[in-house]
């Protein structure tokens, strides 16, 4: 399985709502004892073992799909075994939910991945970042940082999610979806 965390590279985006996907795959990587590496001439960080490949595109959120063709070829991953981890404003802060397919709901990272794959038949794990406060733009919200209380909730969500990926062997996708959704709050 390929688990692709979505986010924006660089220290200016660290700890922002849009980067919860990066934070989640970082936690999974650490938990499994893996190390990130950057393949030569590729805009992606990757880590993996026999059952799981983790990746973080270094192309910025809106162009996340650009790394997909390389990853699919390099690791021989079928579309049905790709899972994105990303932020979702429609979920309360710190809630997680997994789906096996769906639309892009206006999320530019999903739009880019769907365009690269030519399909939306891939799994997604959403981490809730809440809606913007009245008078705050969507861009300012997703590129903003969490309050201390929100940060605690998101950190707990990422910890719950990473626990699902702790085992050396991953369950079949329907079981994985059930396990993630069981830990949603």
Catalytically active residues, by annotation: 18
Burial classification of residue 153, based on how many CB atoms lie within 10 Å of its CB (0-12 exposed, 13-18 middle, 19 or more buried):
buried
| DSSP state letter for 13 | G
Distance, in Å, from the CA atom of 38 to the CA atom of 43, rounded to the nearest integer, reads: 8
In the chain, the N- to C-terminal Cα span, in Å, equals 24
CA–CA gap between residue 95 and residue 90 (Å, rounded): 10
In whole angstroms, what is the distance from residue 122 CA to residue 79 CA? 6
Q: Which residues contact 16 (CB under 8 A, 6 or more apart)?
A: 8, 142, 143, 144, 145
Residue of 13, 63, 47 whose CA lies nearest to 165: 47
């Amino acid at each position: 399985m390929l688990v692709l965390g979505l986010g924006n590279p660089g220290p200016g985006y660290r700890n922002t709502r849009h980067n919860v996907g990066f934070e989640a795959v970082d936690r999974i990587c650490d938990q499994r004892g893996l190390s990130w590496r950057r393949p030569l001439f590729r805009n992606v960080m990757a880590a993996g073992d026999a059952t799981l490949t983790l990746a973080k595109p270094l192309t910025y959120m809106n162009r996340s799909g650009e790394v997909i063709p390389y990853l699919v070829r390099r690791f021989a991953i079928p579309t049905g075994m790709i899972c994105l981890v990303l932020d979702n404003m429609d979920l309360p802060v710190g809630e997680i939910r997994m789906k096996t397919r769906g639309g892009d709901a206006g999320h530019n990272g999903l739009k880019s991945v769907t365009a690269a794959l030519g399909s939306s038949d891939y799994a997604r794990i959403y981490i809730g970042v809440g809606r913007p406060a009245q008078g705050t733009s969507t861009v300012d919200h997703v590129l903003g940082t969490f309050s201390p209380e929100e940060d605690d909730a998101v950190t707990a969500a990422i910890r719950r999610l990473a626990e699902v990926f702790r085992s050396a062997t991953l369950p079949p996708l329907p079981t994985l979806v059930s396990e993630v959704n069981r830990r949603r709050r």
